[in-house]
A and B are shown apart, each in its own frame.
Chain A
Amino acid sequence: MERLRLVFSGSGGQGVITAAIILAEAAVLHENLLATQTQTYGPEARGGATRSDVIIADSEIYFPKVIQPNVLVCLTQEAYMKFYDIVRPGGLLITDPRHVTILQTVDSRQIEIPMHAAVMDNIGDLLVYNICMLGALLALTQVVSIDSVIKVLETRMPPSSLPMNRRAMDLGIALGAKHNV
Chain B
Amino acid sequence: MDDNVRFLQGNDVCVQAALYAGLEFFAGYPITPSTEIAENLAYHLPRQGGKFIQMEDEIASMCAIIGASLTGRKVMTATSGPGFSLMQESLGFAIMAEIPCVIVNVQRGGPSTGLPTGPSQGDVLQARWGTHGDHAIIVLTASNHQDVFRMTVDAFNLAETYRTPVILLLDEVIGHMREKVILPEKGAIPVVDRLRTSVKAGIDYHPYLPREDGRLPMSDFGGEHRYHVTGLFHDMWGFPTTNPKIVHGLLRHLNDKIKNNISDINRMKEYFIDDARTILISYGSSARSALHVVHNRRARGERIGLLELQTLWPFPYTQVAEKCEKARQIVVVEMNMGQVLLQVKRAVSRPERVMLANRIDGVFITPTDIRNILRLIHGKGV
Contact = CB atoms under 8 A, between A and B. Distances in A.
Does B associate with A? yes
B368 to A, nearest CB: 7
Interface string B348-382: 00000000000000001011100000000000000
Contacts of B5: 28-29
Interface of A: 21, 24-25, 28-30, 34-43, 61-65, 67
* Nearest 4 A/B pairs, CB to CB: A62-B292, A37-B178, A63-B292, A25-B7
Contacts of A24: 7, 178
A50 B32 CA distance: 16
Interface in B169-187: 173, 176-180
B48 to A, nearest CB: 21
For chain A, what secondary structure do more than half of its interface residues adopt (helix, strand, loop), or is it mixed?
mixed
Interface centre among B173, B288, B367 (most CB of A within 10 A): B288
Given A29-B7, A62-B288, A40 B117 contact: yes
B128 interface: no
28 contacts: A25-B7, A28-B5, A28-B7, A29-B1, A29-B5, A29-B7, A30-B1, A34-B179, A34-B180, A35-B179, A35-B180, A36-B177, A36-B179, A37-B178, A37-B179, A38-B177, A38-B178, A43-B32, A43-B117, A62-B289, A62-B291, A62-B292, A62-B295, A63-B288, A63-B292, A65-B364, A65-B366, A67-B368
B116 interface: yes
A64 B177 contact: yes
Contacts of B117: 40-43
A64 to B, nearest CB: 5
Nearest to A42: B117
Contacts of A64: 173, 177, 179, 288
Contacts of B295: 62
B270 to A, nearest CB: 15
A39 B176 contact: yes
A61 to B, nearest CB: 7
Given A28-B180, A38-B173, A62-B291, 6 more contacts: A24-B7, A35-B179, A38-B178, A39-B176, A42-B117, A64-B179
Given A28-B5, A43-B116, A61 B179 contact: yes
A136 to B, nearest CB: 22
A6 to B, nearest CB: 14
A35 B177 CA distance: 10
A67 B117 CA distance: 19
